[in-house]
Structure 1
Amino acid sequence: MADGNQVNGGLKSALEFGPVLAFFVAYLWLKDRTFTIGGTDYEGFVLVTAGFIPVLLLSMAALWKLTGHLSRMQVVTAVLVVVFGGLTVWLNDDRFFKMKPTLIYLLFGAALAIGLMRGESWLQSVMEGVMPLRREGWMILTKRVMWVFFGLAVLNEIIWRTMSTEVWVTFKTFGLTAAVFGFFMTQAGLFRTYAIEDQDPAE
Structure 2
Amino acid sequence: MNPPILEGDPSDPRRKALNPGLKFLLELGPGLVFFFTTIRGAWLVGKFPILSHIGEPILIATAFFMVATALSLSVSWILTRSWPIMPLVSAIVVFVFGALALWLQDKTFAFMKPTIINSLFGITLLGGLAFGRSLLGYVFDSAFNLDAEGWRKLTFRWGLFFLFLAALNEVVWRNFSEEAWLYFKVWGTIPITLVFTLSQMPLILRHSLEDKTGKEEKAGK
Asked whether the two chains share a fold, i.e. TM above 0.5, the reply is yes
Q: Structure 1 residues 127 and 174 mapped into 2: Cα distance closer, same or farther (>3 Å)?
A: same
State the number of aligned residues.
202
Structure 1 residue runs of 5 or longer lacking an equivalent are none
Residue 135 (structure 1) aligned with residue 140 (structure 2):
no
Q: In 1, are the aligned partners of 2:115 and 2:166 still within 8 Å (CA)?
A: yes
User: Partner residue of 1:71?
Assistant: 84
Change (3 A) 1:141 1:56: same
Q: Which moved more, 1:13-22 or 1:181-190?
A: 13-22
3-state SS in 1 of match to 2:136: helix
TM-superposed deviation, 1:99? 0.4
Q: Is 1:23 equivalent to 2:14 in the alignment? A: no
Q: Percent identity?
A: 37
Aligned to 2:55, the other structure's residue is in SS state strand
CA distance in 2, matches of 1:155, 1:180: 12
What root-mean-square deviation, in Å, do the aligned CA atoms of Structure 1 and Structure 2 show? 2.8
Give structure 2 stretches of 5+ with no counterpart: 4-14
Match of 2:72 in 1: 59
- CA deviations on 1:73-132 (whole Å, 9 max, x unpaired) are 111000000000111111111001110111111111111121111222121355362100
Q: 1:46–1:88: 8 Å Cα contact kept in structure 2? A: yes
Q: 1:69 to 1:137 in 2, by over 3 A?
A: same
Q: Distance in 2 between matches of 1:150 and 1:126?
A: 15
User: Does the alignment pair 1:14 with 2:25?
Assistant: yes
Secondary structure at 2:209's aligned position in 1? coil
Match of 1:94 in 2: 107
Provide the C-alpha distance between the structure 1 equivalents of 2:144 and 2:83, rounded to a whole number of angstroms. 19
1:144 maps onto 2:143 in alignment: no
Measure the CA separation in 2 of the matches of 1:105 and 1:92. Answer: 24
In structure 1, how many angstroms separate the alpha carbons of the residues matched to 2:139 and 2:44?
41
Q: Is this contact kept in 1: 2:37–2:60, CA < 8 A?
A: no
Change (3 A) 1:70 1:40: closer
Q: Give the partner amino acid of 2:35.
A: F
Give every structure 1 segment of 4 or more consecutive aligned residues whose post-TM-superposition deviation is greater than 6 Å: 32-37
Please give the alpha-carbon distance, in whole angstroms, between the structure 1 residues aligned to 2:78 and 2:44.
Answer: 36
Assess if the C-alpha contact under 8 Å between 2:31 and 2:186 holds in 1: yes
